[in-house]
Amino acid sequence: MKEVTSVPEIFGAMVFDDRQMRSRLSSKVYSSLRKTIDQGRKVDPSVAESVAQAMKEWAIEKGATHFTHWFQPLTGVTAEKHDAFISPSPDGSVIMEFSGKELIQGEPDASSFPTGGIRATFEARGYTAWDPTSYAFIKDKTLCIPTAFCSYGGEALDKKTPLLRSMEALNRQALRILRLFGNTSAKNVKTSVGPEQEYFLITKEMYDQRPDLRFTGRTLYGARSPKGQEMDDHYFGVIKPRVQEFMCDLNEELWKLGVLAKTEHNEVSPAQHELAPIYSTTNIATDQNQLTMEIMQKVATRHGLVCLLHEKPFAGVNGSGKHNNWSISTDTGINLLSPGETPYENAQFLLFLCAVIKAVDDYQDLLRLSVATAGNDHRLGANEAPPAVISVFLGDELSAILDAIEKDIPYSGTEKKIMKLGVDVLPAFPRDNTDRNRTSPFAFTGNKFEFRSLGSSNSIACANIMLNSAVAESLKIYADRLEGAEDFESTLHEMIRKTISDHKRILFNGNGYDDAWVKEATEVRGLSNYRTTPDCMPHLLDEKNVTMLTSHKVFSKAELESRCEIMLENYCKQVHIEANTMIDMARKEILPAIECYSDKLSRTVSAKKAIAAGLACTYETSVVSRLSVLADQIYERSGELEGAILKLGDASTVIEESASIRDNLLPKMGELRAAADEAETLVASECWPFPSYGDLLFSVR
């Protein structure tokens, strides 16, 4: 196993971070750039020129030959176009150049990325713009400059631009609230995120034998393994040597890129693992999570493995999520979601807490659709992830505090209990006042909220855009009322009390996996339950959502319309690919395998009867008979699925197409899979064309 000798020495070695800027830039240029980063001021072109020269010299010293504007289009992955530093010299040689203009602005072909109708296909021009708040880094001998991406007309065509806008919206409204509480020292308020990343590791050899994994990222067929996660023995279990080597290599690569990879462990399912970083400012955390997913897959390849980031790569065992730990802090280091020692008396904390509660209730549809994908639809509500119903967990103490405020009665408080473990040698320690709830989509965990609904392959940008914007709207409503209040204290108290009363329906501390909760949530409390992407995505264009998001200048109406179109198109294309893959596998590999094995058994029957006439050959004949029925079902259901695909062409809008996929295509895919999975249990393993679930889940040692 490769040893990491000195983490402090390698950490950030491939990042043009504050240490490099401080040492390579003049004090004047450095000071100006820091104001841009810390206070959101515009970049001075002369500063950009100096930064570009320093950045180029550093990158070349590190072995870089190219640079790229690294951005996040609406494809769900990152994009980059590499340009060499070289420029021709009159004597026939080359010189290494990189200008401030090249740093600030790039020009990829916008027509080749999803635009959702914002631009005609022949209108090609688009721009990338440097994000100075996210450090440049070197990857594969290329200087990567994090950027935003927009069209020729200025519409955002990426996930970073609206994320930065949402952060600025929340900053504006949070500062208004802080000023009302007498805080004049804070210059900005930022959200921070720590995204926990779940993933599966399987061998490259077996991955290559599965067309479904190669084309779609998940298994479309597969009978259950005799052993799955029933014993709970994989969760936090001893990490296998090959996986540990992968993790060690991954950590080193991430540390070099300045990613604060902190925690690693086995997850619930066999072959499933998790990596969690330390918190970073939201846009930086978003960039780094995209980078983390890319590096995971590259490092896995070096070890003869494949890293699966799909939300549900295997049926019957847990899928993978990405827990978005979100908080709000000032530039002076105050966590605005920290209750302090006496949360009942901490009015500022209670107001920000109520702002989040109100935001989640008012815009539960936006939070749900922000995590909606074809892959994540397999997780949400599947008794392994939070339900599709959005609710907030606060724990007993905070719930009791809010109840006392709503009823206008004194709160007696609770003392922290000492945990007595019954063994003298073990240390006593205080028990937290708030438990954790792994079934809640949106849980308060001490000084932050954990949004657990994100899928493992999702960019965290979408969820944080909606969360930041919704909380900004709550804070705006509060600030508007408080700034005009004659009596600040009484208005504040009444506003907190009314928020609790109006939005307590979203609060739930119980088991989110329980069917009784889903029934109560929808039928009694009136909460929304959008189980699939086609159910929730059109609500992006509901009037209240468009009004809120455009009023804070996070999106224009055209940008929202384009995103709704793009997300539904992505959903349709993904499921369409899956359906075609199922048909291809069934006809070219599964049916021939069944025929081959049936023929083998039939020849065995003939041979046995030739030796001893009258033998029943019960096993062989019963298996052949059942396989014959299943083969006919697979053939017929493949045809029905093909017909359902063709009918998708009758849809006049992408909304109609996505609904048809939900109602017609997915059920037929399930029927085809059921017949094929049963056949797998009857066919000898050496005759089945694909590695089994047992092979896939337990092959990495």
pLDDT, position 435: 64
**Residues listed for the chain:** 701
pLDDT tops 50 at residue 645: yes
Phi-psi sector, 63: left (phi>0), alpha (psi -120 to 50), beta: left
Compute how many other C-beta atoms are within 10 angstroms of the C-beta atom of residue 207: 17
pLDDT tops 50 at residue 426: no
Q: Best-predicted range by mean pLDDT among 100-104, 485-489, 501-505, 512-516?
A: 501-505
Q: Kindly report the backbone phi and psi dihedral angles of residue 200, in degrees, each rounded to the nearest multiple of 5, phi listed first.
A: -115, 150
Closest CA to 209 of 701, 688, 697: 688
Q: Among the listed ranges 14-28, 210-224, 325-339, 401-415, which one has the minimum average pLDDT value? A: 401-415
pLDDT, position 94: 57
Element (H, E) at 88: strand 86-88
Closest CA to 376 of 518, 570, 158: 570
What is the C-alpha separation between 193 and 292, in angstroms, rounded? 14
Burial degree of 353 (CB within 10 A; 0-12, 13-18, 19+): buried
pLDDT tops 70 at residue 121: no
pLDDT tops 60 at residue 604: yes
Residue 682 in 3-state DSSP?
A: helix
Closest CA to 473 of 552, 530, 562: 552
Strand-pair category, 126-130 with 142-151: antiparallel
pLDDT tops 90 at residue 431: no
Helix, strand, coil percentages (3-state) for the chain, rounded to 5, are 50, 15, 35
Taking only the tens place, the pLDDT of each residue in 281-303 is 999 999 999 999 999 999 999 99
pLDDT, position 344: 64
**Confidence tier at 116 by pLDDT (50, 70, 90):** confident
pLDDT, position 419: 43
Q: Among the listed ranges 173-177, 490-494, 626-630, which one has the minimum average pLDDT value? A: 490-494
pLDDT tops 50 at residue 575: yes
Q: Which residue has the higher pLDDT, 386 or 571?
A: 571
pLDDT, position 501: 95
Average pLDDT value for the chain: 91
Q: Which residues pair with 70 in a beta bridge?
A: 146
pLDDT (average), residues 605-609: 81
pLDDT tops 50 at residue 478: yes
Q: Which amino acid is at 79?
A: A
Q: Among the listed ranges 121-130, 221-230, 392-401, which one has the minimum average pLDDT value? A: 121-130
What domains lie within the chain, and their CATH numbers? 7-158 (3.10.20.70), 166-219+232-415+427-555 (3.30.590.10), 570-698 (1.20.120.1560)
pLDDT, position 21: 95
